[in-house]
Amino acid sequence: MIKVFLLASLIILMLNPAISSEYAFGTKVMPADGDIGRPLSNTFEGTTVGYWDIGTPGYDESDPVYLHMSRFSFGMIAANDVRLTTMDNRSPGSQVTFQDIDMNKPLTLLPATINYLNIHGSKAYDLEDPVYLHQFYCGGDCMGTGQVQATDSSGQWHPDEEATEATESDFREQIPYRGGISIPRTSCIEFTDGYRMLVTDYVIDNIPQMAGVWRGLMMEKVHGVKADYYHVLNTWYTRIDPFETHDRFLDDIAQKYDAKYAHETSLICTNDVRLSINDTGEDAGTKVVNSDTDQNKMLSSPALARFLGPESDTTRIRYFDATGNGIYDYQDNVYLNYPSGTATGIVSVNNLRLSGPVNASPF
């Protein structure tokens, strides 16, 4: 029965090539493209992203990532899910079919958002702006390990005590970050002397600024969303200055970030997925690694889509019903519909294609 269904689908595709996507995954819609104006349908509310954990436990470079589009298959890769990265000999943008090796494999949810990198500073989403699937809980991985080991003299690390123990005039010694256990929602600050500091905050500007002299030694500071972080150069002395004592920075934060989504503000980090080609030529469907030029660049906020459980917002993830059967299935083309053409949604200039030409498994 399955083979008959697939064979019939392939015959329909060969007879009607116009109904399948003629454009590659990760490309943006241009004014003269043939899919301009096609009507788009909403995906179901449970649309998520996840990964198949095929190597070392936990999400890493080797794990393929999927846009999970099935409302009936929970915790498993399902037919017609869209691969957002390469898997075996299947390209990014291809849809899963019943006989693919990743069909029915375990799918681990990946809390993530879709954001763009504003490379021109125009305060708008432009054709040249690359788009990323960004891990929501990605830490400040400035050593490339994705791990943390920041301890006090007793050998224990207490991230929540950093802001409470330090006062505006108080510096204390803190062992630098060197790798260890994984900590979510953290950022890693690196000062010019190589000292690395892990904080439970999102960094606004990761370039250290000179901040005066302490006991005859130069010190630097870095701005975070919740506090300023000071470090005395060539020592282990640090100080955290929460914003409640620095009201002059509140206006600056409000201008930089939408207050409702300030917690989403983050930098591109290791294993984020490029959903379009970036400005230096890395392909759509590739993952960011530590040496890449887009590593640690700030993504625009608010997110264009969110895959965050109860806080999910996938209204801009839509599909063109190529077969006209009223449901999402094989051959239907998936788009990030931003900006939207109309209230109901049509394919518009600068929409991002999240699927590509049909890539069926061989029998």
Confidence of residue 183 (pLDDT cuts 50, 70, 90): low
Q: Is the pLDDT of residue 2 over 50?
A: no
According to the model, what pLDDT value does residue 137 have?
64
Q: Report the C-alpha gap between 15 and 30 in whole angstroms.
A: 26
| Dihedral angle, C-alpha 320, 15, 91, 67, nearest 10 ° | 30
pLDDT of amino acid 45: 84
Q: Hey, which residues does 60 pair with through a beta bridge?
A: none
206, containing H or E segment: strand 203-214
pLDDT for 315: 93
Q: What is the pLDDT of residue 205?
A: 65
Residue 47 has pLDDT above 90, yes or no: yes
pLDDT tens by residue, 228-245 = 899 999 999 999 988 754
Candidates 60, 210, 64, 240; CA nearest to 141 is: 60
Residue bearing the bigger pLDDT, 77 or 60: 77
Beta bridge partners of 255: none
What is the β-pairing status of strands 305-307 and 203-214? unpaired
Q: Is the pLDDT reported for residue 210 higher than 60?
A: yes
What 3-state DSSP class applies to 72? Answer: coil
Is residue 246 over pLDDT 70? no
Mean pLDDT of the region 265-282: 87
Q: 76: pLDDT confidence band, cut at 50, 70 and 90? A: very high
- At 108 the three-state DSSP class reads strand
Look at residue 189 and tell me if it is in a domain.
yes
pLDDT at residue 228 in the model: 87
Query: How does 182-206 read in b/e, with b if 16+ C-beta sit within 10 Å?
Result: ebeebbbbbbeeebbbbbbbbbbeb
Q: Collapsing DSSP states into helix, strand and coil, what is residue 185?
A: coil
Among 61, 53, 58, 93, smallest CA distance to 77 is for 53
Confidence category of residue 257, pLDDT binned at 50, 70, 90 = very low
**How many C-beta neighbours within 10 Å does residue 269 have?**
23
User: Is the peptide bond prior to 208 cis by the omega test (within 30 degrees of 0)?
Assistant: no
Give me the percent of the chain exceeding a pLDDT of 70: 74
Q: pLDDT > 90: what percent of the chain?
A: 42
CB distance 28 to 351 below 8 Å:
yes
Report, as an integer, the average pLDDT of 261-286: 82
Residue 142's pLDDT band (cuts 50, 70, 90): low
Least confident range of 143-147, 254-258, 332-336: 143-147
Q: Which pLDDT score is estimated for 42?
A: 93
Q: What is the dihedral of CA 28, 32, 38, 44, to 10 degrees?
A: 0
Confirm whether pTM is higher than 0.75.
Answer: no
Amino acid at 162: E
Q: Is 199 part of a structural domain of the chain?
A: yes
Higher pLDDT, 204 or 222: 222
Which domain covers residue 214, as residue numbers? 161-262
**Any domain includes 196:** yes
Q: Residue 83: its pLDDT value, please?
A: 97
pLDDT bin (cut points 50, 70, 90) of residue 41 is very high
Is 212 within a domain?
yes
* Within a domain: 53: no
pLDDT of 278 reads 86
Helix (H), strand (E), coil (C) string for 294-328: CCCCECCCCCCEEECHHHCECCCEEEECCCCCCCC
How many folded domains does the chain comprise?
1
| 161 vs 323, residue with greater confidence | 323
Mean predicted lDDT score pLDDT of the chain: 78
**Cβ distance 293 to 82 under 8 Å?**
no
Cα–Cα nearest to 279, from 134, 127, 142: 127
Would you say how long the chain is, in residues? Answer: 363
Q: Do 22 and 34 touch, CB atoms closer than 8 A? A: yes
User: Largest Cα–Cα distance in the chain?
Assistant: 80
Whether 247 is in a domain gets the answer: yes
Report the side by side order of strands in the sheet with 333-336. 41-42, 317-320, 333-336, 352-353
Please report the pLDDT score of residue 166 as a whole number: 34
Lowest mean pLDDT segment, chosen from 158-167, 263-272, 334-343: 158-167
* Domain assignment present for 237: yes
Question: For residue 219, is it within any domain?
Answer: yes
Distance (Å) of CA 40 to CA 71, 101, 326: 18, 30, 11
Residue reference for tokens 């983050």? 266
18-to-7, 13, 302, 361 alpha-carbon distances in Å: 18, 8, 35, 20
Q: In this structure, what token pair is assigned to residue 168?
A: 């505006």
pLDDT in tens, 90-126: 999 999 999 999 999 999 999 899 999 998 877 789 9
According to the model, what pLDDT value does residue 117 have?
94
pLDDT computed for residue 280 by the predictor:
83
pLDDT band at residue 204 under the 50/70/90 scheme: low
Per-residue pLDDT at 18 exceeds 60? no
Q: Is the four-CA dihedral 280, 285, 286, 287 of positive or negative sign?
A: positive
